[in-house]
Every structure is written in structure tokens, then in C-alpha cells.
């Protein structure tokens, strides 16, 4: 680079600094480092470990966790707020009654001071493994913001990490966690097993998410390595439940990024009893292992981290990841590309990013999803800011995707733009709930009936409505005779049914065994007066309805939960009772059963049902003339009481949306909300 060019760059840095009102002193350092890296390629990858010549201007990241009973959580919260703010630390601090989980960044001297203050403040942190590493300051504001490194977030949470997607179920005792192995012990165990036959009983178990394992994992030729391939950690326990026999009797070596996920996961495995005692975990996680073995040892690739560094590798780290589209060697998540359907991070090389803006992760591909398989609709509220966007309702033949930011800062729906990456999404994922209508209804009418509910829940949930598979005929009743006091009677004049072209088709999940299969081609005269207990005889057609729902989940999923009303609640109850058998085809975390009832079917003979459930029905004086209070109570009694909630109301055969009922509904759903 010539002298003139150098001074031009230097002047540009100074102009940028003085023309913007930066509030932090390190902004000039950040700009200067960017300039140095553009001049000297050798500075592109600064060291990730502590050095002896550190200065007060060096930047670093501190990670630590500690499971310990906190006697006074509010006092600890006050300490963290005061200490971290005074030291200008940025990042995430999570506190609970059973410990802390912290990832913060700042000047090295400030991070070291934070550690000293912690130790001086309380002996709770004796023995804590403080992982402190030097690194570059955040160079990409978008990545830093997504990772939480542009602000300080201190929150009290129920759990430091959420092992189960069923938050109402009790977590395992952390005191029962697997024994810690140092990096050297962990390495030696793998080394000795690797020299044995492939039939040895050692199993390496990765406790991380799929996108993390795609850029690095442990590998030894004669040691079996299990990758659960889960989207999120809360799916891990279900994977363990499905493969318990595969792990029983094995010596299990678990690992994760820094160790905290293995604490809870190993305790969960050991809680299964005999045959699951030999569970061990890598102390300090992959990070400590790479410090002990800078060349990577048995770890191949890079270690994904949840801060602005994105990934950290050993001195000889190879690229083990590949582009989702073209399969070329690639392991850079800095573009933050995400799956169009489930929003999981995906690897897309720069060339493929320029050609496409919509991606489908490998898990969604296995479920048969593909770009272009669904109609995309624009957001009616396109003029609202993206932060806190309120998504509209949509029925089963459409799919809505969040809006994206264009390069000029304006917003538009995905189909109208060609983006270079999808990292511009700034949303907290809402719960996707599949809604099943009642007997002789349809998706459109049920959407209308639940419009008030959808409006009250629009910040936390989006509803998907689908028609049942069985079309039923249009029925009309003959006029009912009116009796006078003197015993005489007469019939009101019959009014003709409305024209067929103005009537929408009606559907059902279950039919009467003697149903003749006629559909809604024309109006049909009822065989007799309305029977309020007809739902008890409608038990046929389950297999077709189940197959229909499997297709819905495959084509329109994933869904977090299922909401059913009346007969739709009966169908929802059956699939929740069969949840274990339906895994992989119909997956959900919870059910909401409104004015529900239980059908006398063999599929319901598995009480108690373990699926978290919310039961909403009229009380004894609730004026629900369709489904009696006692019938809905009997359905609720089939569910495990430790993970079910009952809301009784006085509003009739509807889903109530006024307080206090809507508050109880929000409280139940709020437990399942998860940020991406």
C-alpha cells in the first residue's frame, strides 16, 4: 500500500471518529483495528487465548457457570447490576435460585476485576471455572447484537438451561450429574478406547445443537460418537428417551461448549437408573480441551461459541463444515443465515448467498419441506417496526414469514426482495399453534370464532387453521311443534335453507359408525330432533384424520402446540395420548383442550397422559349446552396432574378472552416461549 493511500485511510478513521458521537472510548480502537487488518492480512485472526503481554486496552470474553443454592437472589441481582455496569461489561447474565450462567465481554482488566469482586463478595463462587480469553472486539454490529454483546442483559430465570421442552415437568437433580473428567483424563479415555476393538463399550455423546456440531466435533475411529441432531437443547431429553436402550450399559462420555449443558443432561441420563450409572462429562467443555490440546487432539474443526467470536479453533483447526446448497467446504456462520421454516442457523457459502435468500435446513428437508412448496403472504402490518411485530393469522393453505430489512432500511416481505443474507431478522419466535375446529365447522369459521383470542395472544402466538378431512352434509331440521295450554299444537312455517353457493363446506374429525359417506352436495333433512349427546357415538374415521394430520405436520410444521375445540379437542386428546408412538410424524410440546371430551377408544387407554395440557371448559353454571362440565373434567383427569392446568369459566360453549381467563391462558403458553 502506498504512503498516500495509508494516510488517506488514517484520515478517514479520524474523520469517522470525530463525526459521530460515540459514547464508548474503544470505538477508535475498533476502527483502527479494522484498518490494520485491511492493511495486514496476518492480523485477520487475532489470538484467542490469554497472553503475558496483555494491556488494559486488550479485549476479552469471560464465560463461567456455577450450580449452587443462592440464599438471596435479589442481593446477587443487585451486585451483578452494580458491578457489571461500573466495569462497562456487556453480554448476558442469567441468575436462578440454583446458580448462575454468565457470558460477558470487556477490557481484560475489567473482567479480571469482576472475578476478584465475585470472590470477595461471596464464597458461593469457590471452585468456579472462570474461562477468560483474549479476542478481538466485536467487528460486526449485527452479529454482536444478535449474540447480546451490544448491551448488558441481567435476568432472573427459572432454569439456567432448559433441558426439557415440557417446562411443567420437574428437572433432574443436578447433584446426580455425571463425574467430571479433566481435559487430559477425557483425552486419555478416548485414546485408550481408540486402541481397542470397535466393539468397546465407550460412547461419545455430543450435547450440543445440530448447527454447532456441523463445524466441529470429537472423532476417534474406534469410538462411537452420537450426534442427537437436535434444533435446540430442550429437545435433547426426548432424544435420550427414544434411545435409552442404545445407551444402556455403555460408558458415556459427554461434552458440550463450556460444560453447563452436560451438567443437566448427564443428570437426566443417570436418573434413568440401572444401566445408566457410567456417565462422565468433560470439565470445562470443548474450550478447556482445546486449551490443553492446541492442535485439536481428538476434536476436529472449530468450537461454536455464543458470542461475537462465533467459533474458536485450535492451531491446526480444519474446516469440517460444508455449504448447505453446493456442499463446498465452509464453516463460517458470520452471515447468520437461517432456515426459512424453523429459523435454525445454516451454513451457506458467499456464492450461494448471492443466488438465493431462502434456505431449508437439513432437518426440515427430512420432513419434506422445500422452498417454493408453499404460498407466501405479505404482512398486513408492513408499516410497523420489525421489533415486536405482530403477525397476522393465516389459514392452512398459506404460510407467513417475518419481514426482512432491505439494504435501505425499508421492510418488505421475503418474496419481494433478493437478500444477501437472512441475518437481518430481529424477532423473538412466536409459538406456532395448530388449531382444530369442532364438528360441522371449517378452518375459516373457526378462525372467525377465535379472532378475539388471536388478537389477545398476537404477541406470543400465531395460529394455523386446517380443515378436518371428513366432509359432512348440510343438515336442516323440520320446524318444532309449538304446544298451547289447551293441548293443541301447530308447526311454524318452514323456511327454505339458503342457496348452496352461499354455504361453505363443513367438516368433521370423527363420524358416526353408520355415516353413509354423503357430502355437502345438497341440503339433507335431519333424521330426527337434534341429539345433544351425538358426539359420544362419533368414533369412526380416526385413521383418516390421523393420516391427514401427519400430512399437515409434514407440510406446514413444525408446531409448538395443538389447540382443539369440542370435537377438535377430542382429536387433540387422542394424538396427545399417542404422542410417544407418533414421534417424528406429529411432534408438539403441549395441547390446549377447549370444551373437550374423551372418546371411548383404545387409543385413549394410556392414562395418565404425560403431555403438558391446558383444559378450558365451562363450570357447573357455565351455560355450555353442548359439552357438560363433568365430561370435560373427566378428560382433564386423564392427564398427569403435575403438568396440566384447568381453567373453568362461565361463558358457555366458547373460548373466553376476558380476565382472569385470558391471563391464565397467557401464563400457560408463556412457559413454552423460547428465543431463537
The maximal CA–CA distance of the chain, rounded, in angstroms, is 115
Residues 6+ apart with CB under 8 A from 48: 133, 134, 135, 309, 312
Contact 647, 661 (CB under 8 A): yes
DSSP symbols for 510-544 = SB-TT-----TTSEEE-SSS--TTGGGG--B-HHH
Contact 387, 426 (CB under 8 A): yes
Cell numbers representing residue 344 in the block: 435454525
**Active-site option among 84, 135, 147, 256:** 256
How many whole angstroms separate alpha carbon 200 and alpha carbon 539?
Answer: 51
**Residue 615: per-residue pLDDT:** 95
**Residue 653: per-residue pLDDT:** 84
Q: What does residue 82 show for φ and ψ, rounded to 5 degrees?
A: -70, -50
**Residue 493: per-residue pLDDT:** 52
Helices and strands in the chain, H and E counts: 19, 30
DSSP symbols for 612-630 = -EEEEEE-TTS--SSS-HH
**Residue 142: per-residue pLDDT:** 72
What residues in the chain have per-residue pLDDT under 70? 1-57, 139-140, 165-169, 194-200, 314-315, 370-428, 474-503, 514-538, 622-624, 674-676
Q: Is 256 a catalytic residue?
A: yes
Domains of the chain: 59-156 (3.30.70.100), 174-320 (3.40.250.10), 431-471+539-671 (3.40.50.1820)
> How many C-alpha atoms does 210 have within 13 Å on its Cβ side?
19
**Residue 654: per-residue pLDDT:** 85
Q: β-strand 481-483 against 489-491: which pairing, if any?
A: antiparallel
Q: Is 17 helix (H, G, I), strand (E, B) or coil?
A: helix
Global model pTM greater than 0.75: no
Amino acid at each position: 500500500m502506498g504512503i498516500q493511500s495509508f494516510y488517506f485511510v488514517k484520515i478517514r478513521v479520524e474523520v469517522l471518529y470525530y463525526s459521530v458521537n460515540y459514547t464508548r472510548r474503544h470505538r477508535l480502537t475498533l476502527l483502527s483495528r479494522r484498518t490494520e487488518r485491511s492493511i495486514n492480512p496476518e492480523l485477520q485472526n487475532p489470538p484467542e487465548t490469554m497472553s503475558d503481554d496483555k494491556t488494559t486496552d486488550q479485549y476479552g470474553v469471560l464465560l463461567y457457570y456455577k450450580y449452587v443454592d443462592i440464599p438471596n437472589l435479589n442481593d446477587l441481582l443487585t451486585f451483578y447490576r452494580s458491578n457489571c455496569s461500573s466495569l462497562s461489561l456487556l453480554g448476558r447474565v442469567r441468575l436462578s435460585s440454583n446458580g448462575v450462567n454468565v457470558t460477558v465481554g470487556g477490557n481484560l482488566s475489567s473482567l479480571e476485576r469482576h472475578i476478584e469482586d465475585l470472590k470477595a463478595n461471596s464464597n458461593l463462587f469457590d471452585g468456579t471455572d472462570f474461562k477468560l480469553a483474549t479476542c478481538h472486539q466485536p467487528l460486526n454490529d449485527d452479529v454482536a447484537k444478535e449474540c447480546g454483546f451490544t448491551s448488558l442483559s441481567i435476568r432472573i430465570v427459572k432454569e439456567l438451561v432448559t433441558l426439557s421442552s415440557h417446562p411443567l415437568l420437574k428437572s433432574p437433580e443436578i447433584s446426580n450429574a455425571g463425574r467430571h473428567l479433566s481435559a487430559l483424563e477425557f483425552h486419555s479415555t478416548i485414546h485408550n478406547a481408540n486402541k481397542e476393538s470397535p466393539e468397546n463399550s465407550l460412547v461419545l455423546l455430543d450435547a450440543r445443537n445440530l448447527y454447532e456440531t456441523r463445524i466441529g466435533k470429537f472423532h476417534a475411529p474406534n469410538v462411537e460418537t452420537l450426534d442427537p441432531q437436535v434444533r435446540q437443547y430442550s429437545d435433547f431429553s426426548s432424544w435420550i428417551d427414544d434411545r435409552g436402550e442404545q445407551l444402556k450399559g455403555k460408558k458415556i462420555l459427554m461434552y458440550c461448549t463450556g460444560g453447563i449443558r452436560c451438567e443437566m443432561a448427564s443428570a437426566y441420563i443417570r436418573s434413568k437408573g440401572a444401566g445408566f450409572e457410567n456417565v462422565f462429562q468433560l470439565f470445562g467443555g470443548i474450550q478447556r480441551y482445546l486449551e490443553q490440546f492446541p492442535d485439536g487432539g481428538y476434536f476436529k474443526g472449530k468450537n461454536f461459541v455464543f458470542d461475537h467470536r462465533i467459533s474458536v479453533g485450535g492451531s491446526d483447526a480444519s474446516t469440517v463444515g460444508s455449504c448447505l446448497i453446493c456442499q463446498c467446504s465452509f464453516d463460517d456462520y458470520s452471515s447468520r443465515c437461517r432456515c426459512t421454516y424453523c429459523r435454525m442457523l445454516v451454513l451457506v457459502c458467499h456464492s450461494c448467498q448471492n443466488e438465493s435468500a431462502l434456505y431449508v435446513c437439513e432437518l426440515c428437508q427430512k420432513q419434506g419441506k422445500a422452498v417454493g412448496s408453499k404460498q407466501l403472504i405479505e404482512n398486513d402490518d408492513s408499516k410497523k417496526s420489525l421489533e415486536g411485530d405482530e403477525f397476522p393469522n393465516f389459514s392452512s393453505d398459506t404460510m407467513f414469514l417475518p419481514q426482512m430489512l432491505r439494504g435501505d432500511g425499508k421492510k418488505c416481505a421475503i418474496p419481494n426482495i433478493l437478500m444477501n443474507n437472512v441475518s437481518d431478522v430481529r424477532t423473538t419466535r412466536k409459538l406456532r399453534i395448530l388449531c382444530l375446529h369442532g364438528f360441522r365447522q371449517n378452518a375459516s369459521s373457526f378462525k372467525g370464532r377465535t379472532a378475539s383470542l388471536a388478537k389477545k395472544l398476537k404477541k406470543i402466538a400465531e395460529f394455523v387453521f386446517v380443515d378436518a378431512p371428513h366432509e359432512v352434509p348440510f343438515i336442516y331440521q323440520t320446524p318444532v311443534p309449538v304446544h298451547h295450554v289447551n293441548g293443541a299444537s301447530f308447526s311454524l312455517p318452514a323456511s327454505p335453507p339458503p342457496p348452496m353457493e352461499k354455504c361453505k363446506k363443513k367438516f368433521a374429525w370423527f363420524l358416526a359408525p353408520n355415516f353413509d359417506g354423503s357430502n355437502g352436495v345438497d341440503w339433507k333433512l335431519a333424521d330426527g330432533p337434534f341429539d345433544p349427546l351425538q358426539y359420544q357415538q362419533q368414533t369412526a374415521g380416526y385413521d383418516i384424520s390421523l393420516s391427514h394430520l401427519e400430512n399437515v405436520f409434514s407440510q406446514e410444521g413444525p408446531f409448538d402446540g395443538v389447540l382443539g375445540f369440542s370435537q377438535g379437542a377430542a382429536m387433540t386428546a387422542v394424538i396427545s395420548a399417542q404422542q410417544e408412538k407418533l414421534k417424528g410424524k406429529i411432534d408438539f410440546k403441549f395441547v390446549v383442550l377447549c370444551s373437550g371430551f374423551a372418546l371411548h377408544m383404545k387409543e385413549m387407554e394410556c392414562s395418565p397422559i404425560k403431555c403438558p395440557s391446558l383444559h378450558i371448559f365451562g363450570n357447573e353454571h357455565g351455560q355450555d349446552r353442548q359439552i357438560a362440565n363433568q365430561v370435560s373434567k373427566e378428560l382433564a383427569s386423564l392427564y398427569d396432574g403435575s403438568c396440566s392446568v384447568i381453567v373453568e369459566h362461565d361463558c358457555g360453549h366458547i373460548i373466553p378472552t376476558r380476565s382472569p381467563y385470558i391471563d391464565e391462558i397467557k401464563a400457560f403458553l408463556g412457559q413454552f416461549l423460547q428465543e431463537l
